[in-house]
Every structure is written in structure tokens, then in C-alpha cells.
Amino acid sequence: MLKISKKGQLMPESPIRKLVPYAEAARARGIKIYPLNIGQPDIETPDVALNAVRNYDQKVIAYSHSAGNITLREKLVEYYKTVDIDVAADQIIVGAGASEALLFAFQSIMDPEDEVIIPEPFYANYIGFATNAGINIKPIFSDIESGFALPPIEDFEKNITEKTKAILICNPNNPTGYLYSKEEMESLRDIVKKHNLFLIADEVYREFTYDGKTHYSAMYLDGIEENVILIDSVSKRYSACGVRLGWLVSRNSLLIDTVMKFAQARLSPPTYGQIAAEAAVNTPAEYFVKVKEEYLARRNAVVEGINNIDGAFCPNPEGAFYVVARLPIDDSDKFCQWLLEDFNYEGQTVMFAPASGFYSTPGKGKDEVRISYVLKVEDLKSSIKVLDEALKVYPGRKQA
């Protein structure tokens, strides 16, 4: 009998996408679905990026440099100067999304069975990337009661072994929306320096901060310049998820040389994605002002709505466009599937991502869901109404 690889068997399903067949069946029955399961904004991609693709007039769509077009990398250098990050074009390697950039980082700094420490809950696909690279995740639990603040640094310390090679954070965080402070980042710097680890910083949501708070990049940290690996993308910043264009930034020349070998092995990043990304850097500043105002209104609608539901709780995050909410339910996987298979309110239902898929510790997140506030405020309010009605009749509802 033909067999599937062990790695293939270990590769997890996406908690964000695994319910799609149930959603498709619900739509076929005429049910309107509010899709809050995936970080796909409905904000329009900037015209400057769309027009660059429309106006591309080369007769051949050719390979680019394996590190990405030099014009794109130089444009990114200009962008980073606007956020007080000083890097050079040869310290940037472009990939097919931040996903490929992060996978290249894992493969370049860790051997099979090595370990990366990540505060959980974390972006679910980190598990897939780690499985692909043959490495292990050591989760450090963060609590919903604290709004998913950085766990005590002692929790990191006691989980560091000879196999530990890196700490990975997402700031602002997906799935929680938590924005790590300068003080929290400096505490990570100290432990990274003490144990000579890499600090991988996924900062794809940098632009989305609220309540007067600002983003503090890992690239600002003194004393660990060669330890920091920055992961970035156009997907969320410019509402261009389908462009599939991201990149890795590092001041460590040995790391860049190593990542380059992986980049060469897959030839080059996508041409049209690079065209769109290079143009997107010229997006006017007022675009982000309006987008942040819209996301702030959406966040407020979701947080207020969830906290007005009996037995539910939602922290008030200061970044990204996600929240993790605790609901009075027995099992988030069962609940999210039930919403699509067995429930509707006035012909409507809602699609969430079970938060269990954002933890690697078994049993965590069973009463939590991730909500992406990527729809208009009125749709979000309707979604919360649907959720409230669903919880009134859900067979697995927990009693207070």
C-alpha cells in the first residue's frame, strides 16, 4: 500500500479554513454567512498598486533576482526609514508572502528537532511552518484575563534548553490583537542576549495600532542587532493578501547568505506581486488614517458587543484586527461547525475560527474563538446579534 509521509500526517489542518466546506453547504441552502474566520480585509487595495499591475507592459514575464527586484528592495529601504528602521537593500530577501520568509528563517537557523519558543495563542500556521521545517514549538501560555500580555519572562527562562534556537513573536499579535510594549520587547532582548538566541519578529500588522499607542519594532532593540529577524508583508498593510508578497530583513550577513540559498532553490518571488508591492509603498499616508479609523470603529463594535453577551468576555486589544473572545461553550470546534451546519437566525449565521487551533497545548482555547473584524460595522453588529441568539440555543452552552 502506498503511504503518506510522517511529515504529511503531522501537518495540521488550518483552523481558519477547515470549516469552509460547511460554509459552502450553508450558502447552498441560502444562508447568509458573516465570514469573521479569516484575516481577509474588505478594505480596498490602494489604486497605486492595482494600476501598477494593470500598466505592466513587458512582453515577457521573467524571473527576477532570487532576493527580489532591487528596485523593490530599495523602495522597502525607503519605507523603513519612515518608521525609523535603518536597513540596506542587501539585508532584505523577498518571498512569496511572509509565510515563505518565515519558513526560510526556520530552515536557516534551526536543525530538525530544534526548538522555537512562541507565546500562545499564536498564528495557527506557525505550527505548519514548524512541521515543514522539522522543528518543535515550545509554547508559553498567555492569559485572556491579562489581554494576552507577554507571559512572565521566567516562563521563557525555564523553557530554554540546548535545543532552543529562537523566540518568535507577532507584534501586534495575530490572533489576539495584543500590542507588545517597549518594556516587554526589552525584556525579550535581555533573554535573547543572555542565551544567544534569535528573535524572530512578525510585524506585518505594524500600521494598525489604536488608542494613541505606537508600535515598538524589534529592530529598535540595542545590543542584539544580529539576533533579530524581521518578517514583513504587503498582505495586511495594503489589503493585498492575494499578492502573496512578503520578505525577511536581517542585519546578520551570515543569515542573509544562508536564506539566499533557500531563495535560489525556489528561483524567484512572483513578478506581479513585486510590481504591486513596489508601487504600494507609495500609498498616501491618508490611506492609513482612514483605514485605522475604520478598524477602530470595528474593534469597538466587536468588543462592546461581545462583552454585552451574558457569559462572554473579550479583551480590548490595541493592534491588528483580531480579538480572541471567551464564550460560554463546551467546545469551540463543535460550536463553530454547529453555527454553519445546524443554526441560523433569520437566515443568517456567522463563521469564526476555533481558538483551539491557535494553541499547541492540548485542551487550550476550547471555550474561545478568534474573530477577525474585517467587515463593516453594521455587518459586525449583525454578526454579534446572530452570535447572541446562537448562544441562547446552543446545546453545549455552559451554565454560569
DSSP code string of 78-105: HHHHHTT----GGGEEEESHHHHHHHHH
Q: What is the pLDDT of residue 345?
A: 97
Please give the single-letter amino acid code of residue 164: T
Residues of the chain with CATH 3.40.640.10: 47-280
Please give the full DSSP string across 64-76, using - where no structure is assigned.
--TT--HHHHHHH
Mean pLDDT of 205-226: 97
Please give the full DSSP string across 308-348, using - where no structure is assigned.
TSTT-B----SBTTEEEEE-SBS-HHHHHHHHHHT--BTTE
**Burial profile 167-193: b = 16 or more Cβ within 10 angstroms, e = fewer:** bbbbbbbbbbbbbbbeebbebbbebbe
The CATH architecture one would assign to domain 47-280 is 3-Layer(aba) Sandwich (3.40)
Contact present, 62 and 281 (Cβ < 8 Å): no
Q: What CATH number labels 6-44+286-393? A: 3.90.1150.10
Percent of the chain clearing pLDDT 90 (strictly above):
95
pLDDT tens for 118-143 read 999 999 999 999 999 999 999 999 99
Global pTM reads 0.96
- 400 falls in which pLDDT band (50, 70, 90)? low
Residues of the chain with CATH 3.90.1150.10: 6-44+286-393
Residue 72, all three cell numbers: 523593490
pLDDT tens for 69-97 read 999 999 999 999 999 999 999 999 999 99
250 bridge partner residues: 229
- 399 falls in which pLDDT band (50, 70, 90)? confident
Q: What is the pLDDT of residue 16?
A: 73
* Mean pLDDT, the chain, whole residue set: 96
Residue 16, all three cell numbers: 481558519
Mean pLDDT of 14-40: 91
Mean pLDDT of 255-268: 98
Residues sharing a CB contact under 8 Å with residue 254, sequence separation 6 or more, in sequence order: none
CA torsion 232-235-239-241 (nearest 10°) is -170
pLDDT tens for 331-347 read 999 999 999 999 999 99
